[in-house]
C-alpha cells in the first residue's frame, strides 16, 4: 500500500509540474472556482501547505468559442505562512493581514489563442500567452469575501489592463456542499482589441468584417467549487462555471457570428495534501 501511495503521489506531482501545452484557456478557467477552497492550513499547526492534483476539465478552446475540449489539467495550491500563495497560474504575496483585510502584489499568466484553432481565425494571427503583474485586495467578513485583482500585461501579448472584481460566499450552514463565486471582469481597449477586435489587415486576410473592440466589462462569471475529503490526505475536487460575455466581447463577429457568448466550464479530479 505504501508503494502504491508513493507511486500515486509521484504521478500526481509529475503531472502537476508538466506544462499543459494543449490548453491555452481550459487550464486557466477551470480552476477558478477552486480558489474558493480553503487557502491554507492553520499556520499554527505548520507554516506551509502544499496540494497537488489532476483534473479532467471540459471547457472552451479559447474565449468566446463554441468548440469545447476535454483535457487533463494540473491543480497546484502552495502556501507559506499565508504570505506567499501559489494558485495554479497565479502567485500572490500578502503584505498586509489584519481584521479581515489583505492586500499585496500578484503575477498571473493568461491563455493565448492560435489562429489554427478554427478555420475562421485563419489570418487573424496568434495571440501569445500573456504574463501580467499587479496587485490584489481582499476583505472577509463572516461567510462573505470581497476582492479585486488589477493586472497589466508586461509580456507584450495584449499590452492591456484587466480588473477582476468578485464576491465569494463560504458557509457550511448555507452551502455545506461547496462555495460560490460571482465575478465580473473589466478590460482595457488594448486587451479587447487583441482578443476581440478585427483590424483592416486581419479582415483582409481572414474575410471577417472589421470590428473595433472598446474598453468595458467583458464578462460576468458564476462559479461553484468544492473540495471533498476522501481517504487520508486525498480529496475530491469539483468545479463548475458559467460565463456570459458582455459588450464588445459578445458583439464581435468572432463570437456573435462564429462562437457563443455563453461559456460553460466543468472539472472533476483529485488532490493530495502534503
Residue 131: what pLDDT? 94
Residue 175: what pLDDT? 63
State pLDDT tens for residues 178-228. 788 999 999 999 999 999 999 999 999 999 999 999 999 999 999 888 888
Residue 254, pLDDT above cutoff 90: yes
Rounded Cα distance, 75 and 93, in Å: 19
All cell numbers assigned to 129: 500567452
State pLDDT tens for residues 155-170. 999 999 999 999 988 7
All cell numbers assigned to 122: 485563419
Out of 2.60.40.3710, 2.40.160.40, 3.10.310.30, 3.50.50.60, the CATH code matching 2-273 is 2.40.160.40
All cell numbers assigned to 23: 490548453
Residue 17: what pLDDT? 37
Rounded Cα distance, 113 and 177, in Å: 35
Residue 142, pLDDT above cutoff 50: yes
State pLDDT tens for residues 233-247. 998 988 889 999 999
Q: Is 121 helix (H, G, I), strand (E, B) or coil?
A: helix
Q: In the chain, where are the structural domains located? A: 2-273
Please state the pTM of the whole predicted model.
0.84
Q: Is 117 helix (H, G, I), strand (E, B) or coil?
A: coil
> Which DSSP state fits 210?
P
Residue 248: what pLDDT? 98
State pLDDT tens for residues 58-103. 889 889 999 998 888 888 888 888 789 888 788 999 998 888 899 9
Out of 9-23, 108-122, 192-206, pick the least confident: 9-23
Residue 43, pLDDT above cutoff 60: no
Q: Which residues pair with 98 in a beta bridge?
A: 101
Average pLDDT, the chain: 83
Residue 3: what pLDDT? 46
Residue 1, pLDDT above cutoff 60: no
Rounded Cα distance, 138 and 128, in Å: 30
Residue 45: what pLDDT? 52
Sign of dihedral through CA atoms 37, 19, 135, 48?
A: positive
Amino acid at each position: 500500500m505504501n508503494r502504491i501511495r508513493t507511486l500515486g503521489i509521484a504521478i500526481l506531482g509529475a503531472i502537476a509540474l508538466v506544462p499543459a501545452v494543449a490548453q491555452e484557456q481550459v487550464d486557466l478557467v477551470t480552476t477558478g472556482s477552486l480558489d474558493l477552497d480553503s487557502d491554507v492550513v492553520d499556520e499554527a499547526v505548520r507554516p506551509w501547505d502544499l496540494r497537488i492534483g489532476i483534473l479532467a476539465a471540459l471547457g472552451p478552446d479559447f474565449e468566446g468559442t463554441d468548440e469545447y475540449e476535454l483535457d487533463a489539467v494540473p491543480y497546484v495550491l502552495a502556501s507559506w505562512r499565508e504570505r506567499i500563495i501559489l494558485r495554479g497560474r497565479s502567485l500572490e504575496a500578502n503584505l498586509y493581514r489584519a481584521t479581515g483585510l489583505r492586500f499585496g502584489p500578484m503575477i498571473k499568466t493568461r491563455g493565448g489563442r492560435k489562429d489554427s484553432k478554427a478555420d475562421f481565425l485563419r489570418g487573424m494571427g496568434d495571440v501569445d500567452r500573456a504574463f501580467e503583474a499587479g496587485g490584489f485586495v481582499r476583505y472577509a467578513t463572516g461567510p462573505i469575501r470581497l476582492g479585486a485583482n488589477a493586472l497589466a500585461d508586461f509580456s507584450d501579448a495584449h499590452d492591456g489592463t484587466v480588473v477582476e472584481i468578485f464576491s465569494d460566499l463560504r458557509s457550511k450552514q448555507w452551502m455545506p456542499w461547496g462555495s460560490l463565486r460571482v465575478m465580473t471582469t473589466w478590460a482595457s481597449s488594448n486587451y479587447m482589441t487583441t482578443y476581440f477586435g478585427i483590424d483592416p489587415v486581419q479582415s483582409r486576410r481572414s474575410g471577417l468584417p472589421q470590428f473595433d473592440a472598446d474598453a468595458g466589462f467583458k464578462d460576468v462569471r458564476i462559479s461553484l467549487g468544492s473540495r471533498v475529503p476522501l481517504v487520508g490526505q486525498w480529496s475530491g475536487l469539483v468545479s463548475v462555471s458559467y460565463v456570459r460575455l458582455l459588450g464588445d466581447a459578445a458583439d464581435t463577429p468572432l463570437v456573435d457570428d462564429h462562437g457563443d457568448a455563453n461559456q460553460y466550464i466543468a472539472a472533476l479530479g483529485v488532490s493530495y495534501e502534503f
